[in-house]
Structure 1
Amino acid sequence: MTDTISLCATVLATSTIAAAVLAWTPACAADGAESPLKIGGAVRFNYVYKSWQDEYSSGFFGLDTARLNVDYDDGTLIGSAEYRYNNYPTGQGGYWQHFLHHGWVGMRFADKSTLHVGLDKQVFGLYPFASNNFYSSIAFYAGFEDKYDLGLTYASRPGPFEWQLGFYPRDGGSYGGGGNTAGASNRYSYNIVADDEQGFGTGQHDSERNTLVGRMAWHVGPDARHEVGVSGLSGEIRNGAGDTTRRNAAAVHYAGPVGPFKLMLEALRYRYRTSHDASQTYGGLDPNSFVMLGAFGYPYPLATKGNIYIANLSYDIPGKLGPFGGFKVYNDYGILKKQVGGYKDSVQNVTGLSFSSGKWVFYMDFMRGKHHPYLSPDAGGLGATPTEYDRSTRRINLQAGYYF
């Protein structure tokens, strides 16, 4: 409880500082120079169909996210914060939650390198995203894509060779939600969390601490359009009973053009050591063969050892169709091959189209996979995956978002 209060106080303090810095805006010059302070947000709506939900044979429609963004950049002082509110329809769990997505302040130095302090994005693997679709890649659900933690992030100046280094003493913390959500999982990023009242009843109370992340990338070829990179991560896992173990991950990644297409490739390997007693399990599994991850209101088990492989191909369609433009077609494939307990592989494939019109952005995604908490009835999909769910299932997501 003390850790939770301390963490929430730290995050709130960070967001308060961010708000103070962002609110400090010099008056616009007489020549009408653009203000360094920008305030915006978005409201997004989804239609969802899940092949395994017989009670919603025609799918369902509802709010996905409402969010508020504040950004500041005067050339030297920089900062960014975003707060989100989710309220999902019954077919999506029928719950609401809110959380700080990110909140940091920083500086841009004379050589264009930057330093961020606060709740910031870990720079690991394919960056800024390992996917083209709205639902991200399988690496996101394992905690290795679009993840935000509390700490320091340094990024070298842009150029043919870039490197980033981050140190995060704490994770991003948990926030508020309805009574049918798991309190420790009311957050955006998938972190290791305590398995509380809405989880699997394992009694695990793990948390992430003192995570060090490093990334190097080389931009090569004509116009430096090909990026080749390596990433590494190492941090502590504290079990809530005084024991500390380690988790490590490494990845190699590539992004660049192949003819008219853009290709993204990543190979990622992670190994977590845990310290659970015999009672901290479910279904008779080895208690040290999985760890609980949580976000968006609920936790689920992840195998403690695995390899992730990602292969994405996209194509930007030129021209416009009436008021619509920015067309992109893509296929994003990912697989988690678990290396412990004879656990079954998890697969995610998303074929889709994105486009825009003014301030509106649209996604049309057809998802197919198995042993995945968002693509099958198997909530433990990134852990053991029993044979009763050993089949591919489908999910359709159509989204319209207004960004302002």
Structure 2
Amino acid sequence: MVKLTLVAAAVAASLTVLPAYGQDETTTEQELKMLLEQVEALKQRIVDLEKKIADKPAAQTQVSAQASEPSEDIAPRRQVKGQALAARVERLEEDVQEAKNDPIRIGGAVRTQYVWEDYNDPLKDRGGDFDFDLVRIDYSGQIGDVILSAQYRWFQYMDVVQHAWVGYNFTENWQGQLGVTKVPFGNTPYNSNSYFFSSNFYVGLEDDHDLGAKMRYRDENWDFDVAFFKSDELGGADSLASSKADRYAYDAVGVRLTGEGLYDTPVALAAETNSWALRGARKWTINDYSSAELGASLQWGDMNDGVDTVGDRTAWAVHGLYNYDQWTFMGQVTEYDYNLDLANQGLVVGAYAYYDTIPTKARLYSANIAYSMPVKIGPITNLTFYNDFSLMTDKRLYDEETLMNVLGVAVSAGGLYTYFDWVTARNQPFVGGSMSGEAKDTNTRFNINIGYYF
């Protein structure tokens, strides 16, 4: 009885500082941390009291028991109270365990943009334009052992799924993903620092997401990815999408036939199907200030018109990055090749509600440098200065190279993340050109993209 009384007293004393749980409100991370600490302290206090009781000589324990023995009408009440408190502790432990399994979290962004272009005379004359860019919603989290990650974007001219997959951690190192998931290729998460990505993005080889399954391996020294994609995120050439150009990242959608314009809607459909992707990278932590990564990527698969196979494709890349203190250096060499059965003038790709034409074979080079500088200027906490360079050469059927250089700075200020980009480019989409263009002169675009992320 003495033991029960002391334990009950310890529980009661500890519970006086606990917040009220079991109510219809969400536990915050701070409350969860406090709850964990208090439950652990309570457990330890009960153990200590039990040990003290066990260590007392038998005679002393008997005397103490006699001296403190409550009357018969009080003892049952204390016993019941002790049992109730113990049950409450057990419920608290269950609440803690449930709270560890985070619910689905919702975030997103709202972005707007200022644009000035030297190749657009009306825009240039009025000093540029300020326009709405997008609203996006992100979903992420875990229910039970199943992971969820999804993002949906609304633009002025389209709305799209950026990614949407479910996953499962098979071991500490292996994770599986199923759905619209990122194609493992090249430097990740991006082969760039700027708002404009690198030229790889515009041929479907940077930040692309397709419909399939992927296995990821991660440890201290190695990254491995193997993935199978049944189709692009819209379902391939025979999908029911209202427009095959309404998508976040570039994918092949057709064959450019002789006589068609570079931006025309394709007549002959062709889309990726039954594709495989492999990526591996070796990582080194050199010292407290520097790290490096060197890797290789490979893709291959078929092209289908919705009925039959009309060709195949391959792509490979070698890539690496080096971090030293606040500096980041990044490089990549990429080559792709589409072998099509139809006579053609290139491949039609679609994204952002318009079509473009890319050569069926080309090689791309990229070299980027960035410097991240922590600051305290009002709400501004970081400035990341960068220069991203891309070059596309050896184009099949086209002579003029594509190049893009982006000099810029990204500004972090609370939930605001803003890109200031000065872009100089030739034959580059969104900078007055096409990946299959034959221009000899460069264009310039000044771009400010302001995003509030939550």
TM-score for both structures, normalised by structure 2: 0.73
Determine whether 1:116 maps to 2:180.
no
Q: Specify which of 364, 369, 374 is matched with residue 308 of structure 1.
A: 364
Structure 1: tracts of 5 or more residues without a match: 1-26, 88-95, 176-180, 278-286
Q: Specify which of 120, 126, 129 is matched with residue 53 of structure 1.
A: 120
Q: Deviations over 1:216-265 (max 9, x none)?
A: 00012414820100000001112356343110011000111256521000
Aligned residue for 2:155, secondary structure, equals strand
Determine whether 1:341 maps to 2:405.
no
Aligned residue for 1:320, secondary structure, equals strand
The verdict on how the C-alpha distance between 1:78 and 1:34 changes in structure 2, with shifts beyond 3 A counting, is closer
Determine whether 1:366 maps to 2:428.
no
Q: Could you tell me how far apart the structure 1 residues matched to 2:394 and 2:359 are?
A: 6
Superposed CA RMSD in Å reads: 2.5
User: Are the aligned partners of 1:253 and 1:265 in contact in 2 as well (CA < 8 Å)?
Assistant: yes
User: Are the aligned partners of 1:174 and 1:186 in contact in 2 as well (CA < 8 Å)?
Assistant: no
AA aligned opposite 2:113: N
Q: Could you tell me how far apart the structure 2 residues matched to 1:35 and 1:351 are?
A: 40
| More divergent stretch after superposition (236-245 vs 110-119) | 236-245
Determine whether 1:138 maps to 2:199.
yes
Q: Could you tell me how far apart the structure 1 residues matched to 2:105 and 2:316 are?
A: 36
Q: Deviations over 1:23-42 (max 9, x none)?
A: xxxx8664465733211111
User: Are the aligned partners of 1:318 and 1:326 in contact in 2 as well (CA < 8 Å)?
Assistant: yes
Q: Specify which of 426, 435, 441 is matched with residue 382 of structure 1.
A: 435
The verdict on how the C-alpha distance between 1:225 and 1:74 changes in structure 2, with shifts beyond 3 A counting, is farther
AA aligned opposite 1:183: S
Determine whether 1:190 maps to 2:240.
no
AA aligned opposite 2:212: G
Q: Could you tell me how far apart the structure 2 residues matched to 1:167 and 1:366 are?
A: 38
Aligned residue for 2:375, secondary structure, equals coil
Aligned residue for 1:139, secondary structure, equals helix
**Equivalent in the alignment of 1:210:** 274
Determine whether 1:271 maps to 2:337.
yes
User: Which one has the largest radius of gyration?
Assistant: 2
Deviation of 1:110 after TM superposition, in Å, equals 2.6
The verdict on how the C-alpha distance between 1:30 and 1:239 changes in structure 2, with shifts beyond 3 A counting, is closer
Q: Could you tell me how far apart the structure 2 residues matched to 1:116 and 1:39 are?
A: 20
**Equivalent in the alignment of 2:218:** 157
How many residues of Structure 1 are paired with residues of Structure 2 in the alignment?
A: 350
Aligned residue for 1:140, secondary structure, equals helix
Q: Deviations over 1:251-282 (max 9, x none)?
A: 000111256521000001111111224xxxxx
Q: Deviations over 1:43-64 (max 9, x none)?
A: 0000011111101111111110
The verdict on how the C-alpha distance between 1:297 and 1:202 changes in structure 2, with shifts beyond 3 A counting, is closer
Deviation of 1:399 after TM superposition, in Å, equals 1.4
**Equivalent in the alignment of 1:394:** 444
**Equivalent in the alignment of 2:349:** 293
Q: Could you tell me how far apart the structure 1 residues matched to 2:312 and 2:192 are?
A: 28
Q: Could you tell me how far apart the structure 2 residues matched to 1:255 and 1:230 are?
A: 12
Q: Could you tell me how far apart the structure 2 residues matched to 1:216 and 1:75 are?
A: 30
AA aligned opposite 1:321: I
TM-score for both structures, normalised by structure 1: 0.81
AA aligned opposite 2:420: M
**Equivalent in the alignment of 1:81:** 150
Q: Could you tell me how far apart the structure 1 residues matched to 2:363 and 2:242 are?
A: 28
The verdict on how the C-alpha distance between 1:112 and 1:206 changes in structure 2, with shifts beyond 3 A counting, is same
Q: Could you tell me how far apart the structure 2 residues matched to 1:202 and 1:233 are?
A: 24
Q: Could you tell me how far apart the structure 2 residues matched to 1:268 and 1:190 are?
A: 16
Deviation of 1:357 after TM superposition, in Å, equals 1.3
Ranked by relative contact order (alpha carbons within 8 Å, sequence separation 6 or more), the top structure is: 1
Q: Could you tell me how far apart the structure 1 residues matched to 2:235 and 2:160 are?
A: 7
The verdict on how the C-alpha distance between 1:75 and 1:126 changes in structure 2, with shifts beyond 3 A counting, is farther
Deviation of 1:141 after TM superposition, in Å, equals 0.6
User: Are the aligned partners of 2:408 and 2:422 in contact in 1 as well (CA < 8 Å)?
Assistant: yes
Q: Could you tell me how far apart the structure 1 residues matched to 2:327 and 2:143 are?
A: 36
The structure carrying a bigger helix percent of its residues is: 2
User: Are the aligned partners of 1:174 and 1:187 in contact in 2 as well (CA < 8 Å)?
Assistant: no
AA aligned opposite 1:105: V
**Equivalent in the alignment of 1:318:** 374
AA aligned opposite 1:61: F
AA aligned opposite 1:214: L
Q: Could you tell me how far apart the structure 1 residues matched to 2:191 and 2:113 are?
A: 22
Q: Could you tell me how far apart the structure 2 residues matched to 1:147 and 1:136 are?
A: 12
User: Are the aligned partners of 2:395 and 2:401 in contact in 1 as well (CA < 8 Å)?
Assistant: no
AA aligned opposite 1:398: I
Aligned residue for 2:192, secondary structure, equals coil
Q: Could you tell me how far apart the structure 2 residues matched to 1:267 and 1:318 are?
A: 31
Q: Could you tell me how far apart the structure 2 residues matched to 1:74 and 1:157 are?
A: 22
User: Are the aligned partners of 1:195 and 1:299 in contact in 2 as well (CA < 8 Å)?
Assistant: no
Determine whether 1:170 maps to 2:231.
yes
Structure 2: tracts of 5 or more residues without a match: 1-25, 28-93
Residue identity over aligned pairs, in percent, reads 28
Q: Could you tell me how far apart the structure 2 residues matched to 1:233 and 1:340 are?
A: 19
Q: Could you tell me how far apart the structure 1 residues matched to 2:399 and 2:272 are?
A: 24
| More divergent stretch after superposition (239-248 vs 136-145) | 239-248
Q: Could you tell me how far apart the structure 2 residues matched to 1:362 and 1:390 are?
A: 32
User: Are the aligned partners of 2:254 and 2:266 in contact in 1 as well (CA < 8 Å)?
Assistant: no
Aligned residue for 1:55, secondary structure, equals helix
The verdict on how the C-alpha distance between 1:202 and 1:66 changes in structure 2, with shifts beyond 3 A counting, is closer
